[in-house]
Amino acid sequence: MLRQLFAVIAGVLMAQVAVGEPLALVPDALIDGVSDTLQRDHAVIVEGERIVAVVPTGDLPVDIERLELSGLTLMPGLINGHEHPLIYGDDYQNAHLSGSSAYKALLGLAALQGMLHHGWTTVRVMGDADVFFANQDIARSIREGVHEGPRLTGAAHYLSITGGGGDVNYLSPEQSVVSDGYIVDGSDEVRRAIRREIKYGSDWIKILVTGAFHSVGDNPMNVAFSPDELAEAVAEASRHNVPVAAHAHATAGINQAILAGVRSIEHGTYLDDRSIELMVEHGTFYVPTIYVGDFYAGSDLLLAQDKNDDVYLDYRDEWLRRIGKAHRAGVKIVAGSDLGGYNMDPRAYAREIAVFEEAGLSPMAAIKTATSVAAEMLSWQDRVGTIRAGLLADLIALPGNPLSDLSLLENPSFVMKGGAVIRQSPAADTE
Ligand SMILES: [Zn+2]
């Protein structure tokens, strides 16, 4: 009887509802990922792996099992739009050369589990420092239920030109190593690399359109790939219905990538007014990854420390101003922390969301960068990123109101993925 009642409430067919009795999550407040205001006196009913209804608390059936989330704000699980779970050292290119793919997979799994326990229920991998396909193997073992972990999507490798941001540029020419990125030169190699990426499970293509800040020996102000190579990348990926994410710092690289048809711009450090216009016109998503540079600024942890500090100590305020302008113009901004895996404190990933407030986004807009807008970038808006009937029950609860303090996002008290409780503080009680 109860099951029928909830099917009616949710407007979903019972056939879609997995086994398991319905559970009502009863928080103090609710952020659904799309509304502009926080809601009070609402409960979320979960059955099996899905949300089946969002109802006023007073309308809950008296005999439903309740999980009281007293003092907590319930919201969608966080989506991290830019991560490298296998990168486990600050000098990541040396770490790449000394760690096998299997070792990286073991550390990467632990890193991803740390992310999940800190509220990141979905992670987009933006290429990783790995010769093989460790993230795809991790994703497989999570899907098969062998290991706990977030939902994973993304690219196995970042495609780089010879001498580009994915190449190891500090060894003598006599030395032969397999670089951290996937080195391709010319349209034929781009095409072959994309086919191989997709064959082994990449559902995004990541391409280093310009040089990078944390790699040695290349220049982020230079455009790496030719227009032909870029066009080939988007054309080939599009034939397989796989989107392209473009790492781009230099203005010319950003604008060329948008015009070529990539789905997201990563970093976009030197975006100009034309970039903003183009992103609005083409519906391109923008993943700035600001906090990683703050994290390393003024440290001596990076092999390419000077390049990082040039931006984050001198240009950061101007960059934030441009990000705010892009947001106001309607560019869809997504949170991506770009911090890497095992060597990170998992609380650090959410600091990217808080930095958006410095760029002029409201706290609610900043939260949407890691929920509904991020889901739209993944084309997963019918699966995750908001709280509504029919979506997967990926939910977190925070000890207070994140709209008055975004740092609460760093350490949720409660994490649920697909209806399964991953983490629960002692304060939450089941009646
Ligand atoms: Zn990155």
How many angstroms does the Cα of residue 49 sit away from the middle of ligand 1? 31
Q: Name the residue range of residue 327's domain.
A: 78-377
How many angstroms does the Cα of residue 29 sit away from the middle of ligand 1? 34
CATH number at residue 53: 2.30.40.10
How many angstroms does the Cα of residue 334 sit away from the middle of ligand 1? 14
Q: Is 56 exposed, middle or buried (0-12, 13-18, 19+ CB in 10 A)?
A: exposed
How many angstroms does the Cα of residue 139 sit away from the middle of ligand 1? 19
Same-domain status, 342 and 404? no
pLDDT score recorded for residue 10: 41
Same-domain status, 85 and 49? no
User: Which of 358, 377, 396 lies at the terminal end of a domain, its last residue?
Assistant: 377
Same-domain status, 58 and 124? no
How many angstroms does the Cα of residue 362 sit away from the middle of ligand 1? 25
pLDDT in tens, 338-371: 999 999 999 999 999 999 999 999 999 999 999 9
The two beta strands, 65-76 and 244-248, are unpaired
How many angstroms does the Cα of residue 304 sit away from the middle of ligand 1? 15
User: Which of 333, 358, 377 lies at the terminal end of a domain, its last residue?
Assistant: 377
Same-domain status, 425 and 276? no
Q: Is 210 exposed, middle or buried (0-12, 13-18, 19+ CB in 10 A)?
A: buried
Closest CA to 76 of 424, 369, 325, 407: 369
How many angstroms does the Cα of residue 241 sit away from the middle of ligand 1? 22
Q: What is the rounded CA–CA span in Å between residue 66 and residue 120?
A: 24
Tokens of 328: 């106001």
pLDDT score recorded for residue 212: 87
Same-domain status, 89 and 190? yes
Same-domain status, 241 and 277? yes
- Report which DSSP code applies to 336: -
- Name the stretches of the chain with pLDDT < 50: 1-18, 427-431
Q: Position of tokens 């100590």?
A: 313
Same-domain status, 245 and 176? yes
User: Which of 361, 377, 393 lies at the terminal end of a domain, its last residue?
Assistant: 377
pLDDT score recorded for residue 426: 60
Give the total number of structural domains in the chain.
2
How many angstroms does the Cα of residue 193 sit away from the middle of ligand 1? 19
Q: What is the dihedral of CA 189, 191, 195, 196, to 10 degrees?
A: 10
How many angstroms does the Cα of residue 148 sit away from the middle of ligand 1? 24
Q: Are 320 and 359 in contact (CB under 8 A)?
A: yes
pLDDT in tens, 291-336: 999 999 888 888 888 888 877 888 999 999 999 999 999 999 999 9
Same-domain status, 62 and 167? no
pLDDT score recorded for residue 187: 97
How many angstroms does the Cα of residue 66 sit away from the middle of ligand 1? 41
Same-domain status, 149 and 159? yes
How many angstroms does the Cα of residue 84 sit away from the middle of ligand 1? 6
Same-domain status, 325 and 235? yes
Q: Which helix (H) or strand (E) holds 9?
A: helix 2-10
Closest CA to 70 of 347, 414, 411, 395: 414
Q: What is the rounded CA–CA span in Å between residue 29 and residue 396?
A: 12
CATH number at residue 369: 3.20.20.140
Same-domain status, 394 and 248? no
How many angstroms does the Cα of residue 188 sit away from the middle of ligand 1? 25
Same-domain status, 153 and 184? yes
